[in-house]
Amino acid sequence: MIKNIINLGDASAYCDFGKDVNKEINSNVISYFNNLKDKNIEGITNITPSYNKLIISFDLDVINFFKVKKIIENLEIKNGNENKQKLIEIPICSEKKFTLDSNRLEKVLKIKFDKILDIFFNKEYFCYMTGFIAGMPFLGDISEKLRAKRLETPRVKVPKGSIGLTEQFCNIYTYESPGGWNIIGNTPLDIFNKNNQKNPALINPGDTVKFKQITQNEYDKIKK
Amino acid sequence: MNMTKLKNSYFEIERAGVNTTFQDYGRQNLNHIGIPVSGAMDKRNYILSNALLKKNLNSPAIEFAYQGPLLKYKGEEIFIVITGDVKFQIVRDNKKKIIGEPYHVYLIQNNDQIDIQSTNRSVYGYISISEDFILDKTWGSYSINTKAKIGSNNGEKLSNNQKIDIEHKKKKLTITNLNYVNSKIEYIRVLKSINFDFFSEKSKNIFFNKEFKVTKLSDRMGMRLEGQVLENVVNSNIKSEGLVKGVIQVPSDGNPIIMLSDHGTIGGYPKIANVISADFDKLVQMIPGSVIKFKQVSLDEAEKLFKFYKLETDNLINQI
């Protein structure tokens, strides 16, 4: 449940669901997000869920913080959004050329890279949020054995499709972008497709992702 | 050979300028998938460019920064207007040069050139035309976001030698103008933000009493400031969360960054303050090297100041 609603500037409401990051709290955030979104409230210009916060931006010309706060406080949370949440299989190739940080991870985690991949692929991941760059999913939680810090010096360019690990999370670079996560593979799928204006993001908050290891051959086939 | 009629009019871009894009109000309700709002940086000047030509206020206009484009016009006559604090000239087909005045509507004919020389101690300016640019919308907006490659012109800024097509509906207009001076601001007004208390008492004092300088690392995404370092005394790691325009984040180096129209949708730096909506237009026009002083206001005052800002804009539109 929301612990506190305060203003973030003069045109946003900041809903705090607590300090912890876990699936239960995040599901709650997503539930508020879905219910608010479905109501199409005039004047609300963006609703941004993250691990344990929800930020609601509005047009100060139409509505203000006091009114938005009232709406959130009186919001009836209907369940049943669960059926919007999908299980998505994402193929990943972990051939040498895609595993930019295999050596670093072996050193930091003191586990052979093959074993790292075994542990990684043997789990389903929950999508906490998408963003930073268009469609980038923040997934978790990865096994405690695989938790590593981000690179000391971020890469200027992480290739599109890269799968990265940091702390309890993994993500997928939807575009070539700067970034500091530990890269262990690459997907041939377009995780974000701007030409699909209705559903541009393949993975949305609340979805579950299962990664499937594929060979270079399979990768090339999907890619073309 | 058949004589063909001029089907469409167009601008030839002889010089694109530093950062020339199409902008409108921007796109909403997409932050949750990582897509920023974007849209015109200086909303009032953008709106005035359309208002002066009696267009829908949300029509796409050309936004330029510092040095703008040099455009050569081909086609039947149209009207144009430039807004902002801008130095420009119109070079007629017969080489006659006219010193341009912002907020004045000009009639442009075949082979005329519009040369946007520079913005005067400000950053952004706008060009609107009486007819319609032929552009593609992405998610309900023409705004170009060059980082995400989203919007009209394939999400790229305008480049040399490219053409901008215009649909010519032969709009009738009377030449109008508006007397408007872009006033400078003494303070940027802010509200305390979520993590204000993460900073030492000394740093809080510095924030409200010392000057900060706008650095060159400023663009449509954000404005980096430089000044006395702000010290975060709470040993806390912020989990990434949503960002909004005007939020002032302080990364570990202690120098504030203000998020602007193309900002990333989430981030994990502590937030010390938020610039009030009424001051966005003035903020974005501050050039590198300018000095910023922050002044704290209450939410109630911020809302009143926004109403006043809106009223001022409406009054300007009504004068046209």
Domain A4-83 -> CATH class? alpha beta
Yes or no, beta carbons of A49 and B32 under 8 Å apart: yes
**Residue pair B50/B59 in contact by the 8 Å Cβ criterion:** yes
Chain B partners within 8 Å of A9 (Cβ): 191, 193, 244, 246-247, 274-277, 302
Between the alpha carbon of residue B86 and those of residues B24, B64, B120, B222, B268, the distances in Å are 19, 10, 6, 22, 37
Cα–Cα dist B234/B51, whole Å: 49
DSSP assignment of A197-216: SSS-BSS-TT-EEEEEEE-H
**Quick count: other Cβ atoms within 10 Å of Cβ A113?**
17
> Which helix (H) or strand (E) is A87 found in, with range?
strand A87-93
Yes or no, beta carbons of A9 and B191 under 8 Å apart: yes
Residue A60 exposed, middle or buried by CB count within 10 Å (0-12, 13-18, 19+): buried
Confidence (pLDDT) at B235:
61
Residue B246 to chain A, least CA–CA distance (Å): 8
Domain B188-319 has CATH 2.40.100.10: yes
Chain A partners within 8 Å of B244 (Cβ): 8-9, 11-12, 46, 55, 57
pLDDT, tens only, B207-254: 999 999 999 999 999 999 999 999 999 965 588 899 999 999 998 889
pLDDT, tens only, B42-79: 999 999 999 999 999 999 999 999 999 999 999 999 99
Look up residue B268 and give its amino acid.
G
ipTM: 0.94
Eight-class DSSP state of A175:
S
Residue B4 pLDDT level (bands cut at 50, 70, 90)? very low
Domain boundaries, chain B: 9-167, 188-319
Q: Does A180 touch chain B (CB under 8 A)?
A: no
From A11, A138, A200, residue closest to B277, measured CB to CB: A11
From B149, B241, B264, residue closest to A55, measured CB to CB: B241
pLDDT of B5 > 70? The answer is no
Residue A118 to chain B, least CA–CA distance (Å): 28
Mean pLDDT on B132-140: 95
Yes or no, beta carbons of A205 and B276 under 8 Å apart: no
pLDDT, tens only, A141-166: 999 999 998 887 878 889 999 999 99
Domain boundaries, chain A: 4-83, 85-223
pLDDT, tens only, B245-302: 999 999 888 999 999 999 989 988 899 999 999 999 999 999 999 999 999 999 999 9
Indicate the length of chain A as a whole number: 224
The CATH H-level superfamily of A85-223 is Cyclophilin-like (2.40.100.10)
